[in-house]
Structure 1
Amino acid sequence: MIAIRLPALSWLAVLGSSLVCAMAFGVETPLRTALEVRSLSPEEAEKELPVALQGTVIFVDPRGSVLVQDKTAGTFFRGSDVMSLRVGDEVGVRGVTSPGMYLPGIQKATFEKLGHGEMPPAAPVSYADLLSGRYHYQRVAAEGIVQSVTASGDGDHTILHLAMDQDLLEVDVYAPPKERHLLVDSRVRIEGLAAGTINHRRQLLQPILWLQDWSWLKVLNAAPPVQDVPTISASKLLAFRVVGQNGHRVRVAGTVVAAFSDGTVFIRDEATALGLQLHPPMPLSAGTRIEAVGFPKIQRFGASLVNTRLIEQEPGPEPTAIEASLTDLLNGAHDNDLVAVTATLSGSFRAEEGQVLVLQEGGITFRVMAPLLEHEPPVGTRVRVTGICQVDSIKMTPSGIQSVPRTVSLRCRSADDVAVLNSPSWWTVRRLALVVGVLLFAMGLAGLWITVLRRQVRRQTTALRWRIEREAAHDERQRIAREFHDTLEQGLTGLLLRLEAVQAHGVNERGDHLLRASRGLVSQMQVETRSLVSELRVPSQENADLVAALQAIVDEHPLGCGPVLKLEARAPMPPLPSRTVHHLRMIAREGVTNALKHARAANIRLALGLEGSRLRMTIADDGQGFDSEALHGGQRGHFGCIGIEERCAKFGGIALWRSAPGQGTTLEIELTLETSAAAAHGHTAKHLLLHS
């Protein structure tokens, strides 16, 4: 052994460092193996280090990547014209490194086809090996039982699910489906490319095997015929057997208690319930008796069947739900079964799958997943919910051997499974406190307001009493004057006209003197009796006849004396309140009297008309007329117009005079009636009331 002095070692170290620096600043040495490429960190791969390696094509990805494997490992490259390569081609690849989504590869690649050879041997792997990522983008071999064969959405490749013990591996075959039902339940050996789905953190979420075609799959044990699949009860599913579980399909039979659109079906086999996942999904009705084959799998708390295929179905009566308490649900005996629970609603919210109801009973809280309800019950409502009981989480007993449910939930079949028994009282503690507070506040305001009102009432009582007494006396004086003018004075005027008529026929001197004295006496009585009052009223009956009242005025007019007085009623008049008829009669008498006294008319016409809900009374003469504006203001000793307006105000009527010297006078009274219709024996009767 040659001894090397310390100074010599120092020189060797300096020389080595110089060589390294020269390599760093000079031409870089390309990476020669796939292991060197995939050993780079993402940061190093981003530097686009040169690569020059040789390997065998093990997979051609239709999306533009080629997977190669040499004696060390596997990697991928992308470049132009890569789709011309075939599996088994020996190639020399040059390019630069790329970080890739999960492991580094080669980009900007050029390749040279060196020949065609055998594929590298496939490494036997377990599901855990694939999940670790150590064989990613390398040829591997896996064995298991095919549970399902499905065509992809585009139909270009096929998706298999391979059961490897308790794990389910997805296998993508880049070829159309083949022998779909014959492969199910077969034990196969698959040689393919290890791949998987990746997230944005460069983490492997799920391992997948890629197969270029069906030649990479070999059937070791063909699936037994469906008729040979053994039938097992739900209670015996995945229970202990001396020979253990073989992972193949089993046959079950039962009555459908619930079926959902996603293919989930629940059946009841005697006293045990079981969940099935149909593949593909198909509609089923509750009560249907079915037989199906599927693969057993533990889900949540109990066994179920996945990738289930329906064999037979026969309609039957709809099963009844088991009445259960929350304590019964927590013992696990009703898992996957149709149950009915009565509880109190403590809350609800909407989720992506529908509406979630939170129920509470006996200190136990559980959730109900239901479709969207048209009317959401308020909190505190007592409800009866029917649905499939499902264990959401489990816990261990103190012995550490047995598992029991920790929480359960119900899955309703439809909105009809939620029945409201009774709604909560509107009165809650919070609302009661709020109402009491509002009442106390209102009482305080009321007390303050009463105090203020009392002071104000004391101040205004004297003034109001004096004002009321004065207005009452004024109204009474106006009423007396109106009644006098329309009754007593009209009678005296009629008497005076009769005296004049007698005198006009001629009498002796003594009689003429007596008539002149009588006329003077009547005139004096007209003046004196204006200060006297006597209230004349129509008997207080509910309704009165206006036409009859006006006809009485016409009948009082003597025939052959003075102008001709006629009454025209153009439509049947409805019964009117007696007070209204009284006022209209007095207005008509006043109008006729004015025509007799002042108009010198030859004809006086009383007319009644009804237009819809409006009643119109007209008093017209062909006399000398007058200035309506001057007389309307009231002359000394003449208050006819004012009295007519006051009477109209009593029943809501309107008085209108139309007159001019030499053109006669027309007085129109118009009032609005309220109409009510009543039907009797097919006829309509109208009851018209005064509109106030």
Structure 2
Amino acid sequence: MSLPPTPHPSPPRQRRAAGMAMAWGLCVALSGLILPSAHAAEAPLTTAVEVRSLREEEAAKKLPVELRGTVVFIEGPNGAIVIQDSTAGTYFRGQNETSLQPGDEVQVKGVTTPGTYLPGIEQASYVKLGHRELPPALPTTYADILSGRYFFQRIAVEGIVHAVVPTSDESRSILTLALGQDLLEVRICAPPQEGRLLTDSRVRIEGLAAGGVNQRRQLVQAIAWVHDWSGLQVIKPAPPENEMPLISGSKLLAFDALGQDRHRVRIAGTVIAAFPDGEIFVRDDATALRMQMLKHLPLPLGTRVEVIGFPKMQRFSASLVHAQVLRQEPGPVPAAIAVSLADLIKGKHDNDLVTVTADLTSSFQTEDGHVLVLQEGGRSLRVQMPADGRQLPAGARVQVTGICLVDSNTASGTTSTPRSAHLRARSASDVAVLSAPPWWTARRLALAVGLLLLAMALCALWIAFLRRQVRRQTQALRRQIQHEATLEERQRIAREFHDTLEQGLTGLALRLDAVKARGADEKSGRLLQASRRLVSQIHEETRSLVSELRQPSHEALDLKTELAKIAEEHTNDCGPAVEFQADSPLPALPSHIVHHLKMIAREAVTNALKHAQALHVVMRVHMQSQCLRIAVADDGQGFDFEARHHGQAGRFGCIGIEERCEKLNATAHWRTAPGQGTVLEITLPLNTAA
């Protein structure tokens, strides 16, 4: 029995009435000393409704209770003892209790306890005051019992008995009572009465309202407890079985001018499915019907049966519950009806044996077996089948035979329309694979597409790598061609220099030697000697230039030394003076940069002496802000830079200087004007030079 537990009561032994009264007075006198001072400070609760009205946290405070009531139910020697006064009912627990009986009037004293559903009394002691009639039972409905308002109070219900079965130890009975469409479980603390047929009888039961409670203190099941069979009264006996009407399944719970009395009916048909849980499905001439058997019977498919049972509305169609087989005879196995997935949702084939053909999209295991998901024409269907160890491949074309069951429905006006349905296969053989799934499944196709995309990505990377290599090779080949073309051009220029300029310088040197041999004054001799040295130097540089053009030298050159040589070429005694100034030390530079800077300085000095008619030229090399700066300043006549730079044909000095600066990533800047001299500044960033 699902009654809230209340531990360790201590009842006294049975005594004579005078002795019990004296003992009760003694208990009352001692209670003021035994109970805690907190309880003594509060007035005790004196009615059952005060106890059961406490909230859980209030009942846990162990408030004092002193109430007088009548015993209405005793669960057992160590079970709950339910008492009821004029207000409501509550309980306390007995300990080896054998003296109390329903109807005894008792005075109970103890403290409150929350219980598992409603508050009760613990640490209870009682005095039996006498015996009286039980409180009157309150007429109730199933909804009243399930609401909990009459929990642990005497109630009276009236309904039709569906079944009476013994408990596992056969010491008690469980009676199923139909209260309209609801089924109430009645637990009778006595074994079934032999020879008494209560099934389909209309009875009145007076007992105790109770129920099943979960861990959240919620009432989940309505139950009534009856102390013995005296609490049951037969109002109308069950009609004889041969007088029960034989009707078609299509007429079950249909309109009747006199209404539905909910008594048993007889239905005849052919068994189309039988499941181990006691459900069988029968098809008659008009419809198919589900029946929940009272006892499981092995009924072969095709058996002609005559069944009696109670009509009950299930999810969508009426069925029989607590059914029994009256007659059976063998017959041919019935055929399944071929339908589409769209036909199943119409509800016409509810509880009938059908067969569908569709594609299997997925499958999974459950506690009840195996579940398949079919799809056809944009609709899906769930199939429940017994587990057989097979692993059906997704995408296969299958044919499934089973019982169509409408799961839910929606009401539109006065019409109920099916909303979802599923199939329940009778055995694994009801599922047949018509064709294997195509090799190109969605998963494999996705894998193939992924591999293809990966291959394309690798190809794109390889193509990009090849293009990069081609660009590198092309650049290398272009550099090689340019280098070879440059070498060839250098050799051509070297040949031209050798055949023209060098030969002319050699002839000029010979003529100067001849003039000197004829004799001259001292001043002319010095001039001839200086001219001869100049020609020899020019000759040597020309030969060096020709050699450099044919085979470039990789020896390191010093900028200060090379610029100093330019200054040494022009002395004061032979004309204009060239002065050289340099910071020390200067950074080391590559040979080709030193060569270009030297040629720029030479060109600037030559222009100053030849065109500007300067008398004094200063070359200065210094470092400034991580840049190498070369300045060539003269005191000549100056010139119009724009006109000379862009307007005169055959003048290539400035253009050559700018071209050499462009190769070095250096800058050239002229400051000049007619009659004001000229300053050329060359700025070379050292990071570029490096």
TM-score (norm 1): 0.59
Q: What letter corresponds to residue 411 of structure 1 in structure 2?
A: R
* 1:208-242 Cα distance to aligned partner (Å, 9 max, x none): 11001001000000111111111110010000000
- Cα deviation per residue 1:88-129 (whole Å; 9 max; x = unaligned)? 111111111111111111111111111122111111111121
Aligned to 1:158: 173
| Cα contact 1:66–1:82 (8 A) shared by 2 | no
Q: CA 1:117–1:326 in 2, change beyond 3 Å: closer, same or farther?
A: same
1:603-657, Cα deviation, whole Å (9 max, x unpaired): xxxxxxxxxxxxxxxxxxxxxxxxxxxxxxxxxxxxxxxxxxxxxxxxxxxxxxx
Determine the structure 2 residue equivalent to 1:283. Answer: 298
Partners of 1:348 and 1:25 lie apart in 2 by 64
- Give how far 1:393 is off: 1.0
Counterpart among 297, 310, 316 of residue 295 in structure 1: 310
Deviation at 1:284, TM superposition (A): 1.0
> Shift in Å at residue 44 of structure 1?
1.1
For the structure 1 residues 419 and 181, does the alpha-carbon distance in structure 2 shift closer, same or farther, using more than 3 Å as the test? farther
> Are 1:174 and 2:198 an aligned pair?
no
* 1:149 aligned partner: 164
SS for the counterpart of 2:197 is: helix
Contact (CA 8 Å) 2:165, 2:174: kept in 1 or not? Answer: yes
1:178-215 Cα distance to aligned partner (Å, 9 max, x none):
25771000000000001011111211111111001001
1:39 is aligned to: 53
Say what the alpha-carbon RMSD is for the aligned residues. 2.3
Q: Tell me how far 1:80 sits from its aligned partner.
A: 3.1
Matched, 1:418 2:418: no
Task: Name 1:49's counterpart in structure 2.
Answer: 63
Task: Give how far 1:441 is off.
Answer: 6.5
Question: Which of the residues 419, 444, 447 maps onto 1:434?
Answer: 447
Aligned position for 1:192: 207
Give the drift of 1:83.
3.9
1:554 is matched with which residue? none
3-state DSSP class of the match of 1:266?
strand
Q: Secondary structure at the match of 1:416?
A: helix
The answer to whether the 8 Å contact 1:150/1:180 transfers is: no
CA distance in 2, matches of 1:360, 1:106: 61
Q: In 2 relative to 1, CA 113–432 (structure 1 residues): closer, same or farther, beyond 3 Å?
A: closer
Q: State how far apart, in whole Å, the 1-side matches of 2:50 and 2:210 are.
A: 19
Deviation at 1:346, TM superposition (A): 1.1
Matched ranges for 1:223-372 at <5 A: 223-372=238-387
Aligned equivalents of 2:286, 2:340: Cα separation in 1: 17
Q: Which aligned segments of 4 or more residues in structure 1 are displaced greater than 6 angstroms?
A: 439-445
Flag the 1:324–1:52 CA change in 2: closer, same or farther, 3 A: same
Question: 2:351 touches 2:405 (CA, 8 Å); kept in 1?
Answer: yes
Corresponding position of 2:73: 59
Q: How far apart in 1 are the matches of 2:455 and 2:40? A: 95
Number of equivalenced pairs: 427
CA shift for structure 1 position 27: 2.9
**Partner SS state of residue 44, structure 1:** helix
Tell me the residue number matched to 1:404: 417
Once the two structures are superposed, residues 648-691 of structure 1 have per-residue CA deviations (whole angstroms, 9 ceiling, x without a partner) of: xxxxxxxxxxxxxxxxxxxxxxxxxxxxxxxxxxxxxxxxxxxx
CA contact (8 A) 1:79 1:107 kept: no
Alignment deviations for residues 566-602 of structure 1 (CA, whole Å, 9 cap, x no partner): xxxxxxxxxxxxxxxxxxxxxxxxxxxxxxxxxxxxx
Aligned counterparts of 1:180 and 1:74: Cα–Cα separation in 2: 36
* Paired residue secondary structure (2:342): helix
User: Which residue identity does 2:86 align to in structure 1?
Assistant: K
2:248–2:286 contact (8 Å) kept in structure 1: no
How far has the Cα of 1:438 moved from its partner?
4.2
Task: In structure 1, give the amino acid aligned to 2:50.
Answer: E
- Report if aligned partners of 2:270, 2:304 keep a CA contact under 8 Å in 1: yes
- 1:429 CA displacement: 4.9
Alpha-carbon distance between aligned partners in 2 of 1:359 and 1:156, rounded to the nearest angstrom: 50
Contact 1:65 1:82 (C-alpha < 8 Å) held by counterparts = no
Structure 1 position 377, deviation (Å) = 1.4
Q: Give how far 1:24 is off.
A: 7.2
How far apart are residue 421 of structure 1 and its match? 0.3
Distance in 1 (CA, whole Å) between partners of 2:428 and 2:203 is 45
State the 1:331 CA deviation.
1.4
Q: How far did residue 31 of structure 1 move?
A: 1.3
Which of the numbers 97, 103, 106 marks the counterpart of 1:88? 103
1 CA distance for matches of 2:163 and 2:63?
Answer: 44
Q: Is the 8 A contact 2:45 2:51 kept in 1?
A: yes
* CA apart distance, 1:28: 2.3
Q: Contact between 2:397 and 2:437, CA under 8 Å: does it hold in 1?
A: yes
Report what 2:397 is aligned to: 382
Tell me how far 1:70 sits from its aligned partner.
1.1
Q: Hey, what does 2:686 align to over in structure 1?
A: none
In the alignment, the residues of structure 2 paired with residue 222 and residue 303 of structure 1 have an alpha-carbon distance, to the nearest angstrom, of 25
Is the Cα–Cα contact under 8 Å of residues 259 and 266 in structure 1 kept in the other structure? yes
Tell me what 1:393 maps to.
408
Residues 402-434 of structure 1: per-residue CA shift (max 9 Å, x gap): 111111100000000000000111113552453
Instruction: Quote the Cα distance in structure 2 between the aligned partners of 1:436 and 1:238.
Output: 59
8 Å Cα contact 1:265-1:275 kept in structure 2: yes
Measured after TM superposition, the shift of residue 373 of structure 1 is 3.5
Alignment partners' CA distance in 2, 1:367 and 1:436? 31
Amino acid of the structure 2 residue aligned with 1:371: P
> How far has the Cα of 1:439 moved from its partner?
6.6
Residue 549 of structure 2 corresponds to none
Distance 1:210 1:98 in 2: 23
Where structure 1 has 5 or more consecutive residues not aligned to the other structure, the ranges are 1-22, 453-692
Mapped to 2, the partners of 1:351 and 1:81 lie a distance apart of 47
Structure 1 position 40, deviation (Å): 1.2
Whichever residue aligns with residue 41 of structure 2, its letter is V
Q: 1:195 is paired with a residue of what secondary structure? A: strand
How far is 1:374 from its partner? 2.4
Q: 1:291/1:74 Cα in 2 relative to 1: closer, same or farther (>3 Å)?
A: same
Q: Structure 2: how far apart are the matches of 1:105 and 1:437?
A: 70
Which residue number in structure 1 is paired with residue 131 of structure 2? 116
Is the partner of 1:80 in helix, strand or coil? Answer: coil
Offset, 1:396: 3.0
**CA shift at 1:440, angstroms?**
8.0
Q: Which residue pairs with 1:107 in the alignment? A: 122
Q: Which residue pairs with 1:29 in the alignment?
A: 43
Contact 2:39 2:64 in 1 (8 A): no
Q: Do the aligned partners of residues 429 and 305 (structure 1) sit closer, same or farther apart at CA in structure 2, a change above 3 Å counting?
A: closer
Task: Please state whether the residue corresponding to 2:146 is helix, strand or coil.
Answer: helix
Identity of aligned residues (%): 59
Q: Distance in 1 between matches of 2:360 and 2:400?
A: 10
The aligned residue for residue 213 of structure 1 is 228
- In 2, the alpha carbon distance for the partners of 1:268 and 1:106 equals 57
Partner of 2:20: none
Change in CA separation of 1:365 and 1:114 when aligned onto 2, cut-off 3 Å: same
Say if 1:149 and 1:181, in contact at 8 Å, map to a contact too.
no
Shift in CA distance, 173/180, structure 1 to aligned 2, threshold 3 Å: farther
* 8 Å Cα contact 1:60/1:83 also seen in 2: no
Secondary structure class of the residue paired with 1:43: helix
